[in-house]
Homo-oligomer: A and B are copies of this chain.
Amino acid sequence: MTIDTARMVQMANAIRALSMDAVQAANSGHPGMPMGMADAAAVLWSEYLRHDPKAPDWADRDRFVLSAGHGSMLIYSLLHLAGYEQPTIEDIRNFRQIGSPCAGHPENFLLPGVECTTGPLGQGLAMAVGMAIAERHLNSAFGNALVDHKTWVIAGDGCLMEGINHEAIGIAGHLKLGRMNVLWDDNNITIDGSTDLSTSEDIKARYEATGWHVTTCNGHDFDDIRRALDEAQADERPSLIACKTVIGKGAPTKQGTSATHGAPLGDEEIAAAREVLGWDAKPFEIPEQVYADWRAKNADHAKARDEWQDRLNASGQRKEFERRMAGDLPESFSLDNYIQKLMAEPQKVATRKASEMALAQINGKLTETIGGSADLTGSNNTKAGGIGPLTADDYSGRYIYYGIREFGMAAAMNGMALHGGVIPYGGTFLVFTDYCRAAIRLSALQQTRAIYVMTHDSIGLGEDGPTHQPIEHVQSLRMIPNLLVMRPADVVETAECWEIALREKDRPTVLALTRQGLPQLRNAPDETDMCSKGAYRLKKSSNAHKVTLVASGSEVHVALECAERLEKEGIGASVVSMVCTQLFDEQSADYRADMIPANTLRVSVEAGTTFGWERYTGTDGLNIGIDRFGASAPAGDLFKKFGLTADDIVPQIMNKLPN
Contact = CB atoms under 8 A, between A and B. Distances in A.
Interface of A: 26, 28-29, 69-70, 96-100, 103-105, 107, 117-121, 157-158, 161-167, 170-171, 173-174, 190-193, 195, 197-203, 205-206, 208-211, 373, 375-379, 389, 401-408, 431-432, 434-435, 437-438, 441-442, 444-445, 462-468, 471-472, 475-476, 478-482, 598, 609, 611-612, 614-615, 618-619, 627-629, 631-634, 637-638, 641
Contacts of A434: 120, 437-438, 441
Given A201-B211, A401-B197, A637-B98, A465 B163 contact: no
Given A121-B404, A481-B627, 13 more contacts: A96-B463, A97-B633, A98-B633, A119-B464, A119-B465, A192-B401, A192-B403, A197-B401, A200-B211, A434-B441, A445-B466, A475-B612, A476-B479
19 contacts: A69-B467, A96-B465, A98-B638, A103-B466, A104-B462, A105-B632, A107-B466, A118-B467, A119-B464, A120-B431, A161-B403, A163-B407, A173-B200, A173-B201, A192-B373, A205-B209, A206-B206, A434-B438, A614-B619
Nearest to A609: B479
B105 A629 contact: no
Contact of A628 (B481, B611, B615): B481
Nearest to A173: B200
A203 B209 CA distance: 7
Contact of A105 (B165, B444, B468): B468
Given A104-B463, A119-B465, A482-B629, A379 B191 contact: yes
Nearest to A444: B629
Contacts of A609: 479, 481
Given A104-B464, A445-B629, A465-B119, A611 B618 contact: no
Contact of A467 (B117, B378, B464): B117
A632 B375 contact: no
A174 B191 contact: no
A199 B403 contact: yes
A485 B166 CA distance: 31
B476 A481 contact: no
A435 B199 CA distance: 19
B463 A389 contact: no
Identify which of A120, A203, A377 gathers the most chain B CB atoms within 10 Å of its CB: A120
Given A26-B463, A465-B104, A162 B405 contact: yes
What's the number of copies of this chain in the assembled complex? 2
A634 B25 CA distance: 12
Contacts of A199: 170, 174, 403
A104 B637 CA distance: 14
Contacts of A438: 432, 434-435
Contact of A107 (B118, B201, B465, B475): B465
Nearest to A610: B615
A245 to B, nearest CB: 18
A641 B104 contact: no
Contacts of A401: 192-193, 197-198
A205 B209 CA distance: 6
Identify which of A193, A444, A598, A619 gathers the most chain B CB atoms within 10 Å of its CB: A619
B403 A190 contact: yes
Contacts of A632: 96-98, 100, 103-105, 107
Contact of A162 (B96, B167, B444, B631): B167
A419 B480 CA distance: 35
Nearest to A406: B162
A467 B445 contact: yes
* Top 6 closest pairs, chain A to chain B, by CB: A163-B163, A198-B403, A166-B166, A205-B209, A103-B632, A476-B476
Contact of A190 (B198, B375, B462, B614): B375
A267 to B, nearest CB: 19
Nearest to A476: B476
A376 B191 contact: yes
A611 B210 CA distance: 43
B198 A163 contact: no
Contact of A29 (B202, B373, B463): B463
A28 B96 CA distance: 55
Nearest to A437: B434
B465 A105 contact: yes
A161 B163 CA distance: 10
A615 B627 CA distance: 14
Contacts of A202: 209-210
Contacts of A628: 481-482
A104 B456 CA distance: 15
B467 A475 contact: no
Identify which of A202, A206, A379 gathers the most chain B CB atoms within 10 Å of its CB: A206
A10 to B, nearest CB: 29
A103 B631 contact: yes
Contacts of A174: 198-201
A407 to B, nearest CB: 5
Contacts of A615: 611-612, 614, 619
B107 A192 contact: no
A192 B377 contact: yes
Contacts of A634: 96-98
A198 B121 contact: no
B104 A190 contact: no
A404 B162 contact: yes
Contact of A375 (B96, B191, B377, B627): B191
Nearest to A617: B619
A161 B379 CA distance: 19
A402 B191 CA distance: 12
A465 B105 CA distance: 7
B197 A465 contact: no
A163 B441 contact: no
